[in-house]
Structure 1
Amino acid sequence: MFSSLPSGVVPATLLLLAGVLPSAYSQSPYSINTDDEIRQSARTLAYDLMLFYEGNQTGQIPGILPGPPDDGLGDYYWWQGGAMMGTYIDYWHYTRDTSYNHVIQQGMVHQVGHNRDYQPRNFTASLGNDDQGFWGMSAMLAAETRFPDPPEDQPQWLALAQAVWATQASPERHDEYCNGGMRWQVPLSNNGYNYKNTIANGCFFNIGARLARYTGNDTYVEYAERTWDWLWGVNYIDHETWRVYDGGHVQHNCTDVNKATFSYNIAILMQGAAFLYNYTEDQKWLDRTEKLAERCLRDFFPDGVAYEVPCEHRQGQCTADMLTFKGYVHRWLAVVTQLVPQLRETILPVLRTSAEAAVRQCTGGESGRVCGFYWASGEFVDPAVDSTTGAGEAMNVLAAVESLLVDSAAPPVTNSTGGTSRGDPNAGQNSDIYRTYSPITTADRAGAGIITFLILAGGLGTWGWMSTGS
């Protein structure tokens, strides 16, 4: 598919012949000083990220990155493919480069599953609510950005987001333990089914907030309110510091709150709150968005550079999941500036400083432009240090760079402001949520790395700074 490099990219062989390889590689090839430079850098980054994707090759599965690890097929889980789809939807939205639209549309549609609700049979036995949620958020993004609609005989973006929301709104996914809230995993037999966490409920909250704004249906607001109140009630959102914690176990009534703070947890709630404020104009959602944004920037952007607090303090500690979080946070913060203009001057300078640090360290590999994860150091660290091939690291930098174009991009549309995606009020209503599955190991499950990390972290104790004040 990729017969030539993006314009302006010099092949490594030519640099070798010219005898300038060492000096050329000591400096990043990316420049983001102007919008044109941002687009060119994003174009090259998008090209390099797509090299990790095999779903457009004969005999491969569209929509997913190579994996899962437990099968020896690659470093990545099913949900990360959905996250990559979202990154490319934003890439198209910000740059208007259509080069990957067909690949992304094909992958998004291929993974919808037999009930068109992002519960494909190949992955349902290891399904987490957050895994399904990430695909649902990418479908929602496609509707909001007017990403080209699939053919008429295929499921449509809005209907897919509605289907994911409907399956997660089903009473079967909200039981009486911990006074409500969704569990991390969907099948009862999965390790982690006894854990109720922020990210699963955060995805549901986020999609509902966006559906409310897009459709004008206040039922979505009611459910989003209920989810927020539950997260607040179980103290997953700290009432004083506004840090957002990971979760707790049903056998302890979710009182054993694991205070690990991951950047995507706070960012997914912040973006959802911003959508609700933009739609309802209710002051409480503005207050919540501002509090979460302040805490997010303070904790996860020290010196203005994205930093994944729980694992980045020592190389080799981040899981394949954690290695993708920076990109989501950049993308979600960018949209917040469109929905809540009051935060624009607070957020945009940080996104630029962070993106500058991100591209500065992209000096690795034979090409001299491979990106690592550790942006603050200013030096390339090979993704192998975290036992991955680097797709997450590449996706992060692409997200950071493309998001710098947010000011020149249209804000998320709605049904009344130009949205074209067709919805389906019955989407997800007939999904057979609870089939019988065989028990699986933690490693079989998308997101397995995080729970392993949490178990280890629990044994070592919670980081001291997390229990301090603001």
Structure 2
Amino acid sequence: MFSIKSLIGLAAFSVLQVQGINLDVTSTDSIKSAASIIAKDLVGLYKESQIPGAPIGVLNESYSWWESGAMFDTLIQYWRLTGDSQYNQLVTQGLASQRGPNDDFMPLNQTISIGSDDQSIWALAAISAAEARLGGDQNVSWFDLAQATFDEQVLRWDEETCNGGLRWKILPFNAGYSYKNTMATGNFFQLAARLAVSTNNDTYAEWATTAWNWTQTAGLIDEDHNVFDGADVSTDCSAINKLQFSDNAGTFIAGAAYMYNYTDGDIKWKISLDSLVNRTMSVFFPSGIATETACESINSCTTDQRASKGVLGKWLVDTIAIAPHTSELITEQLISSAQAAVKTCGDDGCGLDWSGNAKNSSTGVGEQINALNYVQGLLQSHATIQSSSGETTDSVCYSE
């Protein structure tokens, strides 16, 4: 298990002066200060999108709808870890406004093109709100929103093609309807696992196991625990798209962590969880720094892909919280990634490429989500380390 001394050893040069941002990874005050700067920039980008007539809770049209949900999930994590509640009302309003007429995150402004993975990203934000006990609109239950989304996706579980899995798009006339998207099934897996932990209801755990088993049987997670992008029903899912994106891996890691917790450390889930984490560290943390390997080095990441490693980072931090033994596998990379991230942050926000070998020419919501999740995540590592050594912590943690 990592110790505070380990953190200090890894942080021999931990105080980084980066255009106004200092980060000392051994100091919770320094981490909170750095996180607050990045969070302010992230919220500023959201507020710029909230022009008269724009839907509440949605970024401007250059961003996919799901990224707004990921942003709110990141800000819930910000409050949970730092205790800074200044954005809670904004988050509450945004989540509630996009719940849709049936309380299932199918808002009318998105129905035509929505994907199952888009919908479940919002449901995962809702269950984060429930887990953290975020105060909400008196007419909204965060847990009920997550549960309603899950119930709806159960009805979409498609055994008529490829013997299971979720199609990417919900409506048949959308391009992507024939694609069994790994992210859709992975988010369903994670949502089921988190509902199982929240309710102690075996039905959710059974669905999580079904989703996991299908993903492995279909070859979307291979024997080395690589997580691939998906497959098309036209080939009965026999031709796997072997592109790897970090958020696909992250959602399965988080789901496996919750199943490990739910089953009181069942060896199956420990092996699956640890194997996923180890492979993810190998694929997405070259030189110990988070990298979207499919696109970053060739400067081809789409707007969606520019947020992927931040979503992974959020779920890695959740994993440390719910399965503390994984701190040994994750903390070193969390530190080095946070240190590298703040080097790219300036008055205009943070950059995408943290390798130090590229010039970051643009920034945006995804880049802020990325940097914030790794920087604020250091607070969870501190909490986990101090808990294991019997020390106290002032950071906000999940309730036991």
Q: Is TM more than 0.5 here? A: yes
- Once residues 322 and 294 of structure 1 are traced to their aligned partners in structure 2, the CA distance between those partners, rounded to angstroms, is 22
Match for residue 338 of structure 1?
A: 321
- Once residues 411 and 251 of structure 1 are traced to their aligned partners in structure 2, the CA distance between those partners, rounded to angstroms, is 45
Tell me if structure 1 keeps the 8 A contact 2:81–2:397.
Answer: no
Tell me if structure 2 keeps the 8 A contact 1:28–1:360.
Answer: no
User: How many pairs does the alignment contain?
Assistant: 370
Match for residue 265 of structure 1?
A: 248
Tell me if structure 1 keeps the 8 A contact 2:80–2:397.
Answer: no
- Once residues 179 and 60 of structure 1 are traced to their aligned partners in structure 2, the CA distance between those partners, rounded to angstroms, is 41
Deviation, 1:211, is: 0.2
Unaligned runs of 5+ in 1: 1-23, 68-74, 384-388, 418-470
- Once residues 201 and 159 of structure 1 are traced to their aligned partners in structure 2, the CA distance between those partners, rounded to angstroms, is 20
- Once residues 77 and 395 of structure 1 are traced to their aligned partners in structure 2, the CA distance between those partners, rounded to angstroms, is 14
Tell me if structure 2 keeps the 8 A contact 1:370–1:394.
Answer: yes
Q: CA RMSD in A?
A: 1.7
Tell me if structure 2 keeps the 8 A contact 1:264–1:328.
Answer: yes
Match for residue 29 of structure 1?
A: 21
Match for residue 270 of structure 2?
A: 286
Match for residue 178 of structure 2?
A: 194
Deviation, 1:92, is: 0.6
Match for residue 190 of structure 2?
A: 206
Deviation, 1:160, is: 0.5
- Once residues 272 and 198 of structure 1 are traced to their aligned partners in structure 2, the CA distance between those partners, rounded to angstroms, is 13
Residue 237 (structure 2) aligned to one of 240, 254, 259: 254
- Once residues 107 and 100 of structure 1 are traced to their aligned partners in structure 2, the CA distance between those partners, rounded to angstroms, is 11
AA of the residue aligned to 2:377: S
Scaled by the length of structure 1, the TM-score of the pair is 0.76
AA of the residue aligned to 1:134: I
Match for residue 54 of structure 2?
A: 60
Q: Which runs of 4+ in 1 moved over 6 A?
A: none
Deviation, 1:339, is: 2.0
Match for residue 122 of structure 2?
A: 135
- 3-state SS of paired residue (1:352): helix
1:5-54, Cα deviation, whole Å (9 max, x unpaired): xxxxxxxxxxxxxxxxxxx9975633233111111111111111111113
Identity of aligned pairs, percent? Answer: 39
**1:184 to 2:161 alignment:** no
- Once residues 39 and 352 of structure 1 are traced to their aligned partners in structure 2, the CA distance between those partners, rounded to angstroms, is 14
- Once residues 57 and 96 of structure 1 are traced to their aligned partners in structure 2, the CA distance between those partners, rounded to angstroms, is 29
1:53-108, Cα deviation, whole Å (9 max, x unpaired): 136554332111111xxxxxxx1011110110101000111111111111110000
Match for residue 231 of structure 1?
A: 215
- 3-state SS of paired residue (1:124): coil
Match for residue 32 of structure 2?
A: 39
Residue 364 (structure 2) aligned to one of 390, 393, 400: 390
- Once residues 79 and 181 of structure 2 are traced to their aligned partners in structure 1, the CA distance between those partners, rounded to angstroms, is 32
State how 1:290-305 maps to structure 2 within 5 Å: 290-305=274-289
Match for residue 160 of structure 1?
A: 145
Please say which structure displays the higher CA radius of gyration.
Answer: 1
State how 1:11-26 maps to structure 2 within 5 Å: none
Scaled by the length of structure 2, the TM-score of the pair is 0.89
AA of the residue aligned to 2:307: T
Deviation, 1:221, is: 0.6
1:98-138, Cα deviation, whole Å (9 max, x unpaired): 11111110000000000010001110110100000100000
Unaligned runs of 5+ in 2: 1-15, 384-394
- Once residues 99 and 57 of structure 1 are traced to their aligned partners in structure 2, the CA distance between those partners, rounded to angstroms, is 21
Tell me if structure 2 keeps the 8 A contact 1:246–1:262.
Answer: yes
AA of the residue aligned to 1:341: P
Match for residue 44 of structure 2?
A: 51
Tell me if structure 1 keeps the 8 A contact 2:116–2:169.
Answer: yes
AA of the residue aligned to 1:93: R
